[in-house]
Structure 1
Amino acid sequence: MKNKNSLGSVLRKIISSSKWMTLTTVIIIAGAIATALLPPLVLERIVNRLTAHQPIPLYLALIYFGLLALSGLLESGQNVMITVFGQKVTHGLRSEMCAKLQRLPAAYFARHEAGKTTSRFVNDVDVVDSLFTNGIISMFADACKVLSILAVIFYKSLGLGILMLWVTPLLFVMTRLFQKRILKAQLANRAAVGNVNNHVPETIRTIRMIRTLFRQKYMEQKYDDYIEESYHATDKSNLYDSIYSPIVIFISSCVIAVMMICAALGGQVQQFFGVTVGTAVAIIAYVNKVFDPLESIGMEIQNIQSAVAGVKRINEFLNEPEREKTDESVTGKGPIPNTKPCICFDHVSFCYDKENTVLNDLCFKVESDEAVTLVGRTGAGKSTIFRLLLGLYCPNEGRVLVDGVEASKIPDTRKRKLFGYVEQSFHSVSGTMAEQISLFDPAISQKQVEDAARLVGLHESILALPEGYNTPVEKAIFSQGQFQLLSIARAVAASPEILLLDEITASLDSDTERRILDALERACEGRTVLSISHRLHVNTRNYRIIEIGSKCL
């Protein structure tokens, strides 16, 4: 399902929900621009009175210092409001991205590495924050300030105004040149940071294999290469930023020098550039003021260019196709009427890409309370059948039905009561032993958690832990077999109607395997069971065998 969400739509939601804050920000920015223009005009009058040997009224001095103080206060208020607005944007953006994450299909997580997705949530959103706090809004305020100062300079000195009009386009061309170079460097840096963020968790996840195969040096070298790419990209960006400010300062000094020299000349040139001493002081202040925001615009351009890559990546994420929406009314909250075979694969064909077909015209049925084992060569599509049954993927052709309802249309709220899935290995979550079983589901009571643990024979072992069921999983000294039993308890805690078993004894010793098979036998009682196995066990002799690879079964 296509989605038209984007950073722009998130911004519109934030602005519409914070109209007063937006209006206050605009008023403060306008006030800061206006008050920045007034002190040099007051200073002009003070200097002109001094050169005319006239006394300076106290009110002029008070007005001058009062305007300076007010300008500083409004400037600080502008920065505060811009920062608050940026924080609201990043909070709203992260919330929208988290909500998006819940709506993504399983295919997204198969195509995209976890580290790079994390980079979008952390690094890319951080640069979007700088886009507003030190980017677009600040640049708009500085641009308005520049235009206002240029208008005053024109009014005070036509010659200097024309000179400034000649200089400003040159600064614009130079700024555009810096923009392109900085954007190229920032894009390279964003790609390198994404690689680093993906490389670290990948290394931690596979550290045992890396050490076993003595590939530490290779992984270190890959990490160093990514860091080096990021360093060179950042170095280029910093180089352009460091030489931009000195160039602006040099041009500012040249403009002031040209004005003073021309004003000191005689004839028409002096008339064209001629100003009083007070006006000259005011204009010098204005020239400095016009180059200060221009210098800031250069830095703000860098922030904007840095954020462009992040905005692009965030928009790509927000526009990822979503899962088809499910309708709660399709299945309701009660059990699904068992009027048809419990599970039905009706001429199902599926492929993860357009080239390699995993399942081709697969047909089989599983009746309610029946136990079935799927066998077949590696890569035949046994695990894919589970993914289709859980609604993680949709078939390219045919239908996958659970009690007559398409699997992909069963709501997530219903699936926990419908399916219990035991994977090959246990994946813990941050929390207590009880939360490993309940998965933070408020619908699962403490009694259900303990009943599930009793069913698999773990209740006494958990009670023996320092805090019993409240013991953090990190402090539980459990064997691989015990964690696999915990996985079975997690699957049956919500009393599911269908139990899916994915080769859960493949890497266990015979004694542990016997214990887990006994637990499974108790867990499977009264349920429809679908298991994947490469070998048949004593307690699976009554299972119906379906060989994956045949056309219709």
Structure 2
Amino acid sequence: MKTDCKNGVFTAIRMAAASHPLLTAGTLLCVAASVAASLLPPLLLARVIDKLTAGLPLTFWAVVAYFGSLALEGGFSSAQESLLVLFGQKMTHALRSEMSRKLTRLPASTLAAQNPGEVAARFSGDVDTVEALFTSGIISMVADACRILSILAVIAVKNSGLAVILLLVLPLFAVFTRHVQKRMLAAQLDNRRAVAAVSGQVPETLHNIRTIRALGLEDYMERRYDRCIGAGYAAMERTNFYDALYSPVVLVLNAVVVGIVMLLSASGNPTVLTFFGMSVGTSVAVINYISRIFAPIESLGMEIQTIQSAMAGVERIDAFLGQPERTASAAQPSAGRGDVELSHVTFGYGEKEVLHDLSMTVKQGEQITLIGRTGAGKSTVFKLLLGLYPPQEGTVTIGGVPVAAITDRERRSCIGCVEQHFARVPGTVLEQITLGDPQITEEMAKRAAVLAGIDGAIQTLPQGYGTPCTDGMFSQGEWQLLSIARAVAADPAVLLLDEITANLDAETEARVLEALRRASAGRTVLSVSHRIYEDLGGRTVEIKTRTE
């Protein structure tokens, strides 16, 4: 069974904001103070000019007050930007942490079906756009909207006719902004898809580089890559077009409104002057305010682009966070050293059925080898036993306990797996064995290494078990021995061996088989092979395809 995760991007952000109340409150107060401070300089400048035109002397304190208001505005603006950056970093840290937790809670079937590059793009590019949502997006947009409304209020007091003109112009401009907004969103979504495709193709190319070189497919891969880049380029071109169109429209509107107001205020008509008449100082302040009202409107265009890009990322991250999770196992009897049983198991990947009504029992302490054609389902049996996939029909049990009911904490002490290729993790040699599991002590890890026959090679390293692990420090056979040590470190009751000697030479294979005989003693062992390992003993079980 699975459960849906209801925590989305904004839920994670809201929780992060609640956990930093001082930063959140400080940011909002600073934004409000910055908006208020931006109204002062034009008002003070108007008073200074009106006094000068009236023949009054310019006082020192008037100059101090004006330049002090400019400094205050700049100080609050700088503080706002700094706090927004810090706030955005806190939010993205919380979001990445939530995504990391989600990644560990997803079923193996869900992870296997996803493009690694696309998942990586969500952790990097998409989360970065969400950070921009706060540093230069939604909060800045709210601040600019408040600044626009405040300026309109001041202009309505100083020049009611200009306020009417602006109230007629701004709705038309809002319609234009909405038009740009919709097309930017579509372009940003297309660009995100193209970036994800490019990110996915890079690891695919690296993973298959030998095949590509051997078959001479470099040109084919280059064409695929070019198509992905071309799609992203076309999407960005559309975005850039609307972005380039937006700013000139704002500047033209600014000039037109200023020109109309100046012409009307100088008309000499008493009726017109009732609405547009103003002093020299007020006219300077009004021109200043007009520039200040169109500057945040121009910023709104940039912020709209940022928000649309971020919302495209939010949609993709929400889709990731909304995927069904593994259900936490309820309290069950611990899976002990009992029989391994598959009863009437049917399973397939998508529409392709791999196993049909498969039943088999492996007695406690028995050692068997699964044989069969490629694609018959041998490795699939292991995936079912490891609980990576639930059977579509039937049951899979170990020691009488359904595999799905075994808790994550108990799983490693219940069943261990040695794969064909060693999966190295960042860290020391000791951490390759323990995998950071606090239940596996250093003594247990060293005992497992001795059992696997790799302890001697580890002891020759500069720092022994504390040596940082690198690619070339062990031979292929020694990596397999280290994999055996990892599998038996928790003393599991069941041991799975998946084609672990397929790529080894005869001498190395003999060494690995000897280690397996020691590690298999007293355990239930299932091995997968296209050939039979007589040296391991036990019986064989043939897995047949549906067509056989």
Is contact 1:348–1:360 with CA below 8 Å preserved after alignment? yes
* SS of residue in 2 equivalent to 1:345: strand
Is contact 1:362–1:550 with CA below 8 Å preserved after alignment? no
* SS of residue in 1 equivalent to 2:32: helix
Matched, 1:346 2:335: no
Cα distance in 2, alignment partners of residues 90 and 464 from structure 1: 44
Offset of residue 323 of structure 1: 0.5
Is contact 1:391–1:409 with CA below 8 Å preserved after alignment? no
Is contact 1:432–1:473 with CA below 8 Å preserved after alignment? yes
Offset of residue 256 of structure 1: 0.4
Question: 1:438-478 CA deviation, whole Å, 9 max, x = no partner?
Answer: 22333333333333333233233333344433333326443
Matched AA of 1:343: V
| Alignment match of 1:317 (pick from 310, 316, 320) | 320
Is contact 1:345–1:362 with CA below 8 Å preserved after alignment? yes
Show the counterpart of 1:441: 437
Matched, 1:271 2:274: yes
Matched, 1:284 2:287: yes
Show the counterpart of 1:189: 191
Show the counterpart of 1:545: 540
Is contact 1:348–1:396 with CA below 8 Å preserved after alignment? yes
| Alignment match of 1:295 (pick from 293, 298, 303) | 298
Is contact 2:355–2:545 with CA below 8 Å preserved after alignment? no
Show the counterpart of 2:80: 78
Is contact 1:481–1:512 with CA below 8 Å preserved after alignment? yes
Cα distance in 1, alignment partners of residues 118 and 336 from structure 2: 43
Change (3 A) 1:279 1:102: same
Matched AA of 2:542: E
| Alignment match of 1:411 (pick from 400, 407, 410) | 407
Show the counterpart of 2:26: 24
Moved more, 63-72 or 453-462: 453-462
Is contact 1:330–1:410 with CA below 8 Å preserved after alignment? yes
Matched, 1:130 2:132: yes
Is contact 1:502–1:531 with CA below 8 Å preserved after alignment? yes
Moved more, 263-272 or 292-301: 263-272
Offset of residue 25 of structure 1: 1.9
Moved more, 444-453 or 501-510: 444-453
Question: 1:395-427 CA deviation, whole Å, 9 max, x = no partner?
Answer: 122221111221112111111111110112222
Offset of residue 36 of structure 1: 1.2
Moved more, 114-123 or 190-199: 190-199
Matched AA of 1:313: R
Question: 1:371-394 CA deviation, whole Å, 9 max, x = no partner?
Answer: 122222222222111111111111
Matched, 1:251 2:253: yes
Change (3 A) 1:42 1:57: same
Matched AA of 1:191: R
Question: 1:135-164 CA deviation, whole Å, 9 max, x = no partner?
Answer: 000000000100111111112112111111
Percent of pairs identical after alignment?
49
Cα distance in 1, alignment partners of residues 379 and 5 from structure 2: 29
Structure 2: give runs of 5+ residues left out of the alignment: none
User: Equivalent residues in 2 for 1:155-304 (5 A)?
Assistant: 155-267=157-269, 268-304=271-307
Moved more, 5-14 or 53-62: 53-62
Moved more, 439-448 or 66-75: 439-448
Change (3 A) 1:111 1:337: closer
Matched, 1:503 2:486: no
Change (3 A) 1:232 1:444: same
Offset of residue 12 of structure 1: 2.0
Cα distance in 2, alignment partners of residues 270 and 128 from structure 1: 49
Matched, 1:90 2:92: yes
Cα distance in 2, alignment partners of residues 37 and 457 from structure 1: 77
Matched, 1:431 2:427: yes
Offset of residue 491 of structure 1: 1.2
Is contact 1:465–1:476 with CA below 8 Å preserved after alignment? no
Matched, 1:55 2:57: yes
- If the length of structure 1 is used for normalisation, what is the TM-score? 0.94
* SS of residue in 2 equivalent to 1:322: strand
Offset of residue 107 of structure 1: 0.8
Question: 1:461-501 CA deviation, whole Å, 9 max, x = no partner?
Answer: 33334443333332644332222222222211222111001
Cα distance in 2, alignment partners of residues 545 and 44 from structure 1: 96
Matched AA of 2:276: F
Matched, 1:363 2:359: yes
Matched AA of 2:197: N
Is contact 1:391–1:408 with CA below 8 Å preserved after alignment? yes
* SS of residue in 1 equivalent to 2:325: coil
Matched AA of 2:519: A
Cα distance in 2, alignment partners of residues 447 and 31 from structure 1: 61
* SS of residue in 1 equivalent to 2:326: coil
| Alignment match of 1:461 (pick from 454, 457, 463) | 457
Offset of residue 80 of structure 1: 1.7
* SS of residue in 1 equivalent to 2:324: coil
Is contact 1:420–1:499 with CA below 8 Å preserved after alignment? yes
Cα root mean square deviation, aligned: 1.9
Moved more, 269-278 or 92-101: 269-278
Cα distance in 2, alignment partners of residues 489 and 337 from structure 1: 21
Cα distance in 2, alignment partners of residues 337 and 508 from structure 1: 33
Cα distance in 2, alignment partners of residues 145 and 261 from structure 1: 26
Cα distance in 2, alignment partners of residues 250 and 330 from structure 1: 72
Is contact 1:324–1:409 with CA below 8 Å preserved after alignment? no
* SS of residue in 1 equivalent to 2:4: coil
Cα distance in 2, alignment partners of residues 228 and 519 from structure 1: 53
Offset of residue 351 of structure 1: 2.2
